[in-house]
Structure formats: structure tokens, C-alpha cells
Structure 1
Amino acid sequence: MNNRKRNREKNIYKYLITLVITIVIGIVGYYCPELINTQKTNEIVNNDVKNVNTSELKDIPQYTDFPYVYINNNVPNFLESEYITKPFEKYSELDSLGRCGVAYVNICKEIMPAEGEKRGDISSIKPSGWRQKKYNGEFLYNRCHLIGYQLSAENANEKNLITGTRYFNVTGMLDFENKVADYIKNQAEDEDRHVLYRVTPYFEGNNLVATGVEMEAYSVEDNGKGVSFNVFVYNVQPGITINYKTGDSSRN
């Protein structure tokens, strides 16, 4: 009888512990969902980001559900001779179809916008394939900087603006631009950090809209410890079909 009583008490105790834990998790999940979702988010990133050991457009997989893929194991293709600390900006001339080419910059505070500097108007630029359209009250396309304004202070530079979707610009490119900007902004007073940064738009055949861009970055002074990546970002908009040859679009 005593054994039964003890077992029953243990079962009740275990039940109460489980109930308390469940309630606590529920409260935390309601008020602080980010604490519960952190591991899940990391798992999604680790599982879904593919790696491509080439920068050949034909070898890059079709877009599935993730905005970018790693190229060359996420290692940029800069030569050691390029690891310099002299600021520079290089923008390719437009080709015969009016398309942008490679944009290559050595990012540092010297070329970034000054504190409080206001961004200029870029509405005068019509990049190749600019066939603007609204879906659900929002414009499909942005005038997308190859080298983001926060990194270069470039405004209406036609050699630096391509036709890109909101998803491509904000969900795809912006996070990588922020990594570089934050690294430079957080330098100590006695530091002068530099990041080699190259963005290459990929156009298939005579298409006027880029399929996507390759983004490469490498922090020079610390040999890539601060910033180092090589990704291909897809120029897509979920739910929308884009005619990359012309820039026309329609709902899926």
C-alpha cells in the first residue's frame, strides 16, 4: 500500500512539474517569441542555404524559397594583390543594351555618406527593363543600387542602379550591405577599416533584367575575420512571374 501511495505521489509530482514547464514555455512564447524561434530560425538558415562552387550563371540552381545561395563555400574571389587599403570606386560602363556591369569598391568611412547626409533623388534613372507595375498596392520594382547608398553615398548614378524587386533589394541584398556598413561604423577611433566589395549583375543572353547578383566582400585589415562572404542573390518576387527579357510581369 505504501509503495502504491509513493508511486502515485511521484506521478502527481511529475505531472505538476510538466504542467509548470508547459505553462512557462507558453508564457515565454507568447511574450517573447524570438526566444523560442531562435533555434528554429538558425536551423532553417543552415539547412536551406545551398552552396555552389562556381560563379557561372548556368550552374546556379533555380530559385526555390530562399533569397540567396553561397558561392564558392561563401569565400570571395579576390586576389591577394587586391588586399589594399587605398579607397577606390569602379563602375562599369553601360553595355549596348543599357545594362550595368560589375561595381567594385573599397569601402571605408571616407567614401560612405557623412553623418546626417541626406539621400538624393534617383527617380530620373530608368534602368534596363524598367517596366514598373503595382501588386497589392505596392510597386514591384526598386531602383536597386549595386553598391548601396549607405556604403558609397552614390545617388543617381546610372552605372550603379539596376531593376530589382522589393524582395531582392530588401530581403536579399540589404542584410549583406548592413554587415559591411556595421563593420565600418563600429571601428575604433584609431582604426581605419576597409572592405573590398564587389557586386556583379548576371544577365542571361539579351535579357534586360538581371537574374540576380553576386555579392562579394572581404575585410582587409583583419584578413576577412570581420566580413567575408560570397553569395548569389536572386532577383525574384514571390507570387510574381517576371519576363527577364523585357521587364514585364504578371501574377503567378
Structure 2
Amino acid sequence: MKRKFSVIVSSILVLLSLTTFSDTYNLTQVVDAKIKTVIKYDKAPLKKAKSIEAENKETEQHIRKLDQKIKKLRLKLKKYSGAHAVESVSEQKLASLSYSGQDVITVNNNDPNFTQADLTTSHGAWQKYGNLDSLNRVTAANALLNKSLMPTAQREPLTINPTGWHNKRIASGWLYNRCHLIGYQLTGQNNNWKNLMTGTRQLNDPDMLRYEDEVADYIKESSSNYVRYRVTPVFRGNELLARGVEMEAQSVGSNTVHFNVYIFNVQPGVKLNYADGTSRVG
């Protein structure tokens, strides 16, 4: 089984070395599929073996090593994707940007704009949501995330319709999602007007979810892990549908989690009217 995992990892690393930045999204899907293969055919039997032979330390050690390799592989993919993204931009330019085929771009060289005071844990974990603006649009959501904020109850259905909500079915399913600025898995906030915006399915999942999962994985590891987090919707003028979102995260006391990215609010094959959220397929 160890040899099987090594072969899979080697094949993924070859893909990383040969793939250009324009193939990053497809590469992400390939890597995720490879990881699922590893978990299904390598890790599952080992977990079963662990339950049958609880005293088998070698099995336990192999499971831990397998977990570490999977995490390192995902981190390597993230670094690769960031390194091959288009040129980094400043926050001041975000609202004026037009989508040109790259869903995610880095902002300020991928460095989040948090001061040392922003990173203090002296008050424990917290979350704050900006008031709606004069057009009832969401504003920035901030938090110092920790395992203590994560929900224990199952999420209830969303009922709020944010600005720009003109949903409809397209070939791939529903066009829009009610997107949490700070994901439910991180704080348990759900039907909160100040934490929901109209976003395409692509914006919500996989694009935002990829970064939310990275944060969630880190804070789950230890109750002493904290991440300063901010998500800012970016509107142009008086438009009701956001052009995109800026996501910033910084783990306290380390650079394990460290990013500042802008994700375009777009959907393949659909032309969006950002003034009101209506759309046209094709």
C-alpha cells in the first residue's frame, strides 16, 4: 500500500511540473481525484486494520504519514496555483478589473493587509459583520477564527435573497448561490443578512470553498490555532451584483495559512448583468 501511494504522488508531481497556469483549474480536479483514490484504496483499509488490531503501532504510524502526505500534496498544489496566477494587483484596482479567463488572482503579492494589532488573540475568537450599505449590499466580514467558533449543528436552509438575486436554472444547475462571506463551517452564521451575497455557483464552489477548506483544516487541528480572516465583496459603482470577492487570511504565529486573493463572480457560458443580477445564457 505504501508503494501504491508513492506511485500516485509521483504521477501528480509530474503533472505539476508539466502543466501550465492555464490548466490549473483542471489540474486541481485531477489532484483531488488522485487524493480521493488514495483515501479510498489505501487509507480506508488501514483504518479498518487499525480497528481490528488496535495495538498495531506500525499501522497507526502509516495512517499518520498518509495524512501528512495528503496535506503536503494539497499545499504544494496551492503554492503551484498561486505561483502561476496572473500578475498580482492592488486592492484599489479590484472594482475596475474585467474578467479575462482567470477565476482567481492574487492581491498585493498574496500578502493579507493585517497589522500586528489585528493578529492579537488577547480577546479570544470573534466575528464581526459590516452593516449593509445604502443599497442594502453586504460589506466586509471580519473574524479571528478558532475551533471554538465552528458549528456543531447541521446547517438549516437559507431563505434570504441578497441584492442581485435573480436566480434561474442553467445546464449545470442553479446559476446563483446565496454565498456566505465567512463560510458556515467556520462560524455557524447562516441566515445573516450581513453575511450573504449573490454569487455564482462557480464563485461559491469550487473557488471560495477551496480557501475556506484550507482555513477549516488548519483550525480543526488544534484549539490553539487561530486565523485572522476577512472577506470583502467588491461592487462597481451602484451595481447590485458584486464583481467578485477579496479573501484574506493569516494564521497567527505562523504562515501555515497565508493568502490574499480576488475571485471573480462569473459563470462559464453565462453573461451577467451586474447592475441588477439578471443574466443571459450564451
TM over 0.5: yes
Q: Offset of 1:129 from its aligned partner?
A: 0.4
Match of 1:244 in 2: 274
Whether the aligned pair in 1 keeps the contact of 2:95 and 2:236 (CA below 8 Å) is no
CA RMSD of aligned residues (A): 2.2
Whether the aligned pair in 2 keeps the contact of 1:200 and 1:213 (CA below 8 Å) is yes
> What is the aligned counterpart of 1:88 among 126, 129, 141?
126
SS at match of 2:132: coil
* Cα shift readout 1:23-52 (whole Å, capped 9, x = no counterpart): xxxxx99xx975653434475436741233
Unaligned regions of 5+ residues in structure 1, if any?
1-27
SS at match of 2:91: coil
The 1:144–1:46 alpha-carbon spacing in structure 2 relative to 1, beyond 3 Å, is closer
The 1:59–1:150 alpha-carbon spacing in structure 2 relative to 1, beyond 3 Å, is closer
Match of 2:207 in 1: 172
For residues 92 and 65 of structure 1, what CA distance do their matches in structure 2 show? 31
Match of 1:21 in 2: none
Structure with the bigger percentage of helix: 2
Trace 1:1-252 onto structure 2 (pairs within 5 A).
Answer: 34=12, 37-41=15-19, 44=24, 45=81, 48-57=84-93, 61-85=97-121, 86-114=124-152, 117-122=153-158, 124-136=159-171, 138-187=173-222, 191-222=223-254, 225-252=255-282
- Look at both structures and tell me which one has the larger radius of gyration over its CA atoms: 1
* Cα shift readout 1:196-216 (whole Å, capped 9, x = no counterpart): 000000110110000001100
Q: Offset of 1:174 from its aligned partner?
A: 0.7
The 1:66–1:137 alpha-carbon spacing in structure 2 relative to 1, beyond 3 Å, is closer
The 1:134–1:176 alpha-carbon spacing in structure 2 relative to 1, beyond 3 Å, is same
Whether the aligned pair in 2 keeps the contact of 1:48 and 1:66 (CA below 8 Å) is no
For residues 41 and 154 of structure 1, what CA distance do their matches in structure 2 show? 38
Whether the aligned pair in 2 keeps the contact of 1:101 and 1:201 (CA below 8 Å) is yes
Unaligned regions of 5+ residues in structure 2, if any?
1-6, 25-80
Whether the aligned pair in 2 keeps the contact of 1:195 and 1:218 (CA below 8 Å) is yes
SS at match of 2:148: coil
* Cα shift readout 1:75-128 (whole Å, capped 9, x = no counterpart): 0001111111121111011112110000001100111112xx201121x20000
For residues 47 and 228 of structure 1, what CA distance do their matches in structure 2 show? 14
For residues 150 and 116 of structure 2, what CA distance do their matches in structure 1 show? 24
Whether the aligned pair in 1 keeps the contact of 2:145 and 2:227 (CA below 8 Å) is yes
Number of residue pairs matched? 215
The 1:40–1:72 alpha-carbon spacing in structure 2 relative to 1, beyond 3 Å, is same
Question: Which protein has greater RCO, CA pairs closer than 8 Å, 6+ apart?
Answer: 1
Match of 2:43 in 1: none
